[in-house]
Amino acid sequence: MSLDFYARDVVQVARELIGATLRHGECSGIVVETEAYHFSEAACHAYVGRTPRTRVLFGAPGRAYVYRSYGIHALFNAVAEPEGVGAAVLIRALEPREGIELMRARRGLEALEGLCAGPGRMTQALGIGLELNESPLEGGAIELELPPADRPQPALVAGPRVGITKAVELSWRFCARSSRFVSRPWPKNLEAPRRASAIGA
């Protein structure tokens, strides 16, 4: 997947990453849930500008942004937008594909549906830690591969992002519509995903 893919509108990248394959070591899965974050809105870490923490968000697209959440969990993002624009796509859930027994061992859980259903659970299942911050998403320890061009893109639903208190009005969370591997049940009133860029919407 070329850098050009990531150097675009982060909301569009978040949509198109649904269906991609995320791989680390022997474990892999299909991305079924993403969220977009852009420096122009307050829920994004890059909202505060360039700091030691957010430097990677403003850096080259197509790299990993991995940070510690609540002192406990590692959350994995793909840096998007051209260099100089702070933005990233949070990968929140996978449909497990390879290395499932290793994922089960790491998670202490048998059920497929629970292995990668949530951003902290997913990184635990795949063994992604903070040391992978800034690593490239192609040719490095972590690989993010777009689905083959002949596979139709799955139907998406969009809704508000999970676990934030600012910029809650943005529908920048995307899920594969019928997937049972998403991090939480979808709200009752489904919202059709927006076609155009939602930056500033």
Residues that bind DNA (CB under 7 A): 35, 37, 43-46, 48-49, 51-54, 57, 65, 67-73, 75, 77, 88, 90, 107, 114, 118-122, 161-165, 183
Q: Which is nearer to DNA, 108 or 152 (CB)?
A: 108
The least distance separating DNA from the CB of residue 68, rounded to whole angstroms, comes to 5
The least distance separating DNA from the CB of residue 122, rounded to whole angstroms, comes to 7
Q: Which is nearer to DNA, 21 or 183 (CB)?
A: 183
Concatenating the DSSP letter of every residue in the chain gives --HHHHSS-HHHHHHHTTT-EEEETTEEEEEEEEEEEETTSTTSGGGG-S-TTTHHHHS-SSBEEEEEETTTEEEEEEE-SSTTS-EEEEEEEEEEEE-HHHHHHHHT---HHHHSBSHHHHHHHHT--GGGTT-BSSSSSEEEEPPPTTSPPPPEEEEPPSS-SSSTT---EEEETT-S-SSSPPPSS-BPPPSS--TT-
The least distance separating DNA from the CB of residue 95, rounded to whole angstroms, comes to 15
Q: Which is nearer to DNA, 51 or 192 (CB)?
A: 51
Q: Which is nearer to DNA, 155 or 184 (CB)?
A: 184
The least distance separating DNA from the CB of residue 43, rounded to whole angstroms, comes to 6
